[in-house]
Structure 1
């Protein structure tokens, strides 16, 4: 679990509206006329000739006088590939869930290109005088072999900030409206490959992934974990017996010099029931900062349903407010090396005071493929909900069939897949930490609480059924059960 940034999180003046019932499936005359005024801007965050992933960032601008249906718009990025590729949207102002990508081979390879990445959109329309905002995209080979992108038609090594770019093209309704195709490209063949976003990465081992399917009325797929957190304190021997580790020492994430203290983990009584409480406190210095983390000792959790009832806090229990604190529930596979392909992470992260480019309370749900720390490079996708989540919430994560679906209080808030789907067993974790510190020396202390945690292996459990199963455990006075093998 770590963070420096999630994409660039740039705010824009873009206005994107959902398609109304009156927008036809094909471009209208007004839309076609407006399309002539579309303009494409480009930059890249991968400027070296040799790279393990290509990172084009785009922005489409509507200089016309009528809205344009984005479902009719395609961007084409031309390059030389020679083999299969994986596409991902790292961040988009219009939400990555509306962005698609596929790779199409040219009928006849030409200088600088033998295929193109075609970026499309499932919904939305672009109003006159506005833009889409950032489209932070990337693609790589399945084995992460190095690209030489120096002679790719659409690559611009010096483009580190947005500017008009005619070496990538924009098409509306199949008609070229912006940019220059590589010389001799000609019409592309009808593509046969499926969309790149629909194909999850193969598992890291040869063992096929099990298929998780609902089992109405069942109490678990192939094993169940339930913990009511009925412990007396961080030194309670039952924590280790039940497979939990209370973190101590230093290290990330968080501010330099901060420590992780077992004393920051407590189990107070709330309405007659004990809950897990994670504290994060600081006096404004790294040495005076204490963070907290509780995690499972074994990485044995993979596909299935994860859930927890968590209380987030917008303000400290003491001291001045305003810290960029992170309150979490997540699963993770450790990073063994930079860009480790076996790494995985699925996060609920609440930032009550903003951070990572956000100025107010924000809930991030983030799915990770991999990353490297120095220099920072992140391969993830996320969804952000900019609202207060103070109070108790049921968080449910369903991991099955190549998709990771995140629910808050029974509401689907994110649906991620493709390269960001986990490939290896994970641990379950809760932690609370500071991104950075504000000035001032007055002590301040933030609390996050967890009522219970639940996991059903290889089973998709609807959020309402999760709650019923938890209540069943409690009715039977069952404080802990773990039948998950591994």
Structure 2
């Protein structure tokens, strides 16, 4: 358990002598896409770039949007944030992450990769407006006139300086020259791509917490008492459900309280086997800043983490890697904060924590793609493709761990009105012994879903 208080048809390359550029032809004659672009921010410098995009299906078969990746290339000097202002397909289905180019060019050293979690683009149809924007994390102005994908037009028109990939293959546009090799085709859901020594993927397509497939597939829904959290609280399997959200089933943790210990419900889903160690962990998680019912203000913790049990005080084989979001603060923090924490060990009494953490005081409400890479003595945490933290040294784990999600109350703020908070998880992924980029994680998850694979586990038991 988490214990602060205890603690991502082949492109056709025309000869340079004929065209001078690389153009994309559709992945197949039946499935063809075209992209149009305009902007609502035309200045050479701006506080935020505003690429508005429209994707058109000019083929004869539908295009699953979760197979589509759109890349807008630009230069930057710092951390950027992505936002969807409005979209006909719904901003809740639109994702954005920033990826550095392996070989920068003068007009681009990174790209914004836009994806979709669900939906289908029918033949002859278009997505309608995708009103997107991105900005520096410090909100300083930046120059966009020298960016590869930027254009100052204010009416939609075909734009080949934004690339579109369908199922991992270039389907439209001219990528920034020299800096953007075509991504590998999406991983086959039936195998272990790259150097992986085993893969776990779960889309959480279950009927409820008593579904026998949960145990058969290596999951445990917690029911036993104890920490972390409010003394006297229960851990309720009944509060762990699998509703359908935007066409996909999700894991939902519904933690609640009436202001008393005995009236407090915590929730947790954990793997039964400790078989997860070096490799890449990923999950798409929805955090919430407010309860779905009742008054707000509770110090609640929403998590995705790995952990090794503590055999004794200051056990050197203990390990824990945490994403922990506190929407209302706690542990001395007055407001929302995201922690990533890597643990060496701890002692409960008197309390001594041996860990390192990185935090950001901001709201993380909504859906986020979380990735942890554990390799070569370093633990790297990513949120929506952005490197959030890089830990190592004594905080690198030594032994296999469980993989967990839980939601629990640090303490209680008083009052008897019942209040319930939700944390949701769309999918979880793990590749043993392999460093997988956040963008490639998206490709692989998209491949599983395109093949209607809701679960696979080829990770050997440790």
Q: Which interval holds the TM-score relative to the shorter structure?
A: 0.5 to 0.7
Count of aligned pairs between the two proteins: 279
Partners in 2 of 1:473 and 1:249 — Cα distance? 34
Q: How does 1:114-125 map to 2 (within 5 A)?
A: none
Larger Rg: 1
Structure 1 residue aligned with 2:24:
none
Partners in 2 of 1:424 and 1:386 — Cα distance? 31
Displacement of 1:2 in angstroms is 4.0
1:480 matches 2:452:
no
Q: Where does the alignment leave 5 or more consecutive residues of structure 1 unmatched?
A: 8-214
- Picking from 420, 430, 435, the partner of 2:410 is 435
- Picking from 347, 356, 362, the partner of 1:387 is 362
- Picking from 271, 276, 293, the partner of 1:318 is 293
1:328 matches 2:303:
yes
Task: Report Cα offsets for 1:202-251 as digits up to 9, x if no partner.
Answer: xxxxxxxxxxxxx9666351000000000000000000010000000210
1:290 matches 2:260:
no
Cα distance 1:4–1:417, how it changes in 2: closer, same or farther (>3 A)? closer
Structure 1 residue aligned with 2:234:
259
Task: Report Cα offsets for 1:350-382 as digits up to 9, x if no partner.
Answer: 000001121111000000000011111100000
Cα distance 1:231–1:434, how it changes in 2: closer, same or farther (>3 A)? same
Displacement of 1:5 in angstroms is 3.8
Structure 1 residue aligned with 2:444:
469
TM-score, scaled relative to structure 2 = 0.59
3-state SS of 1:436 partner = coil
- Picking from 181, 194, 200, the partner of 1:225 is 200
Q: Where does the alignment leave 5 or more consecutive residues of structure 2 unmatched?
A: 8-182, 188-192
Displacement of 1:6 in angstroms is 8.4
Cα distance 1:268–1:333, how it changes in 2: closer, same or farther (>3 A)? same
Structure 1 residue aligned with 2:337:
362
3-state SS of 2:410 partner = strand
1:305 matches 2:277:
no
Runs of 4+ in 1 over 4 A off after TM superposition: 215-218
Task: Report Cα offsets for 1:125-146 as digits up to 9, x if no partner.
Answer: xxxxxxxxxxxxxxxxxxxxxx
- Give yes or no for contact 2:2–2:305 (8 Å, CA) kept in 1: no
Q: Cα RMSD over matched residues?
A: 1.4
- Give yes or no for contact 1:6–1:356 (8 Å, CA) kept in 2: no
- Give yes or no for contact 1:323–1:437 (8 Å, CA) kept in 2: yes
- Give yes or no for contact 2:281–2:371 (8 Å, CA) kept in 1: yes
Structure 2 residue aligned with 1:407:
382
3-state SS of 2:446 partner = helix
Task: Report Cα offsets for 1:158-217 as digits up to 9, x if no partner.
Answer: xxxxxxxxxxxxxxxxxxxxxxxxxxxxxxxxxxxxxxxxxxxxxxxxxxxxxxxxx966
